[in-house]
Amino acid sequence: MKKEEKASISIMKIICISIILILISGIGVMAVNTQLSDVKIVLQNGYEMTALTSKTKVSDILEENNIILEDNQKTIPDLDSEIAAGETIKITDKSYNEVQIAKISEDGVETSLDQLLENYAPVTEKIVVEQVTIPYETVTKNTTNATTGTTNKVLQQGKDGLKEVTYKVKYQNEVEIEKTVISEVVITEPVDRIVQVQKVQTSRSSTLPRTSGSTTGGTTYKITAYCPCSKCCGKATGRTASGTKATAGRTVAASSKFAFGTKLNIGGHIYTVEDRGGAVNGNKIDIFVNSHAEALQWGVRYMNVSVVN
C-alpha cells in the first residue's frame, strides 16, 4: 500500500508541474502576441509618469492607470483620440487653449517669435460715442422759368445739425480693425439753406409777363414731380384720381383744397388739378412727368403758385 501511495503522489506531482508549465507557456505566448508601448502622462500639477500599456485610446489608458478626470479638466489629445508609442497625454484645465506656432513662415524665411505672436494678439472691443455733423442741404426756390437774366437771393442761411453716434469698435494690437454703428441720436436737426432764383428787374421788364387768364393771389409751394410708375403711384395704370389720363405738361396732383379742374399757374406755366396723393397735402404739389428719370431730375423746388380764374 505504501508503494502505491508513493506512486500516486509522484503522479500527482508530475501532473501539477505539467499544468504549471503549460500556464507559464500560455502567459509567455500572450506576452509575445501583445504589443506593449510606453506612453507619457503629464498631470495638471506638472507631475510626469510613463505607463507601459497595450491600449491605444486615451480614455482606456487613463482608466488602466486609475486616473479620473475632474469636471473642469480635459486631455490633450481628447479622450476619444488614438495615440501611438512615445506620445504624451496631457491633463489640463478646460479653459486652456494650446496654440502651435510655426517657426518657419510660408516663404521659408525664419521669423522671430515676437513677430509670430503679433498674429495671435487678442481682439478687444470698446463702446465709443462720437458726435457727428449732419450737413445741411441747399434748396432752390425758383420763382421764374427763365434760364437767363436771373439772380440768386439767399432767403435762409443753412446750418449743420449734430447727432450722437454709438459705435462698437474692435482693436487688435491697439489698431482699429472693425467699427459698427449701434445707434444714432439726433441732437440738433440741420437747417436747410434756401436760395431764391428771381428774375433781374430792368426798366423794360417792369411788368409781369402775361399768362392765359387772370390770376388771384400767389403762394410759395413745394413742387415735386411724379411719373406713372409703381414707385411713384403704387400702380402703373396712368389714370388720375379724377378719372382722366395723366398727361405731362398738364396734370398736377394737389390737396383737396383745390377742386378737380382748377387751373394753376406754376412758374408761368398753366397746369390742371386732376390727381390726388397720400403725400400731397398742405403747400405741396406734384407735377406729372413722363418718366421716373425726369421726376428724379426735377427734385424739389419752391415756386410761386396762383389760381387762374
Q: Where are the domains of the chain?
A: 37-93, 123-196, 208-308
**Alpha carbon of 194 to those of 109, 162, 224: distances in Å?**
64, 19, 16
Tens of pLDDT along 176-189? 888 888 998 989 88
Per-residue pLDDT reduced to its tens digit, 288-301: 998 888 888 888 89
Assign domain 208-308 one CATH number from 2.60.120.10, 3.40.50.12160, 2.60.40.10, 2.40.40.10.
2.40.40.10
Q: CA-CA distance, 276 to 41, in Å (whole number)?
A: 85
- Contact between 264 and 235 (Cβ < 8 Å): no
286, with CB counted inside 10 A (0-12, 13-18, 19+), is buried
What tens digit of pLDDT does each residue of 187-210 get? 988 888 887 776 655 443 333 334
Phi-psi region of 167 (alpha: psi -120 to 50; beta: other; left: phi over 0): beta
Report the pLDDT value the prediction gives residue 101, as an integer from 0 to 100. Answer: 45
Q: Which CATH number fits domain 37-93: 3.30.70.100, 1.10.287.1080, 3.40.50.1820, 3.10.20.90?
A: 3.10.20.90
Tell me the helix, strand and coil percentages in the chain, rounded to 5: 20, 40, 40
> 136 near 161, Cβ under 8 Å?
yes
Q: How far apart are CA 308 and CA 266, in angstroms?
A: 10
pLDDT in tens, 106-149: 555 555 556 655 566 688 888 989 998 888 888 877 666 555 55
Predicted TM-score of the model (pTM): 0.33
In CATH, what number does 123-196 get?
Answer: 2.20.230.10
Cα separation, 246 vs 198, in Å, equals 30
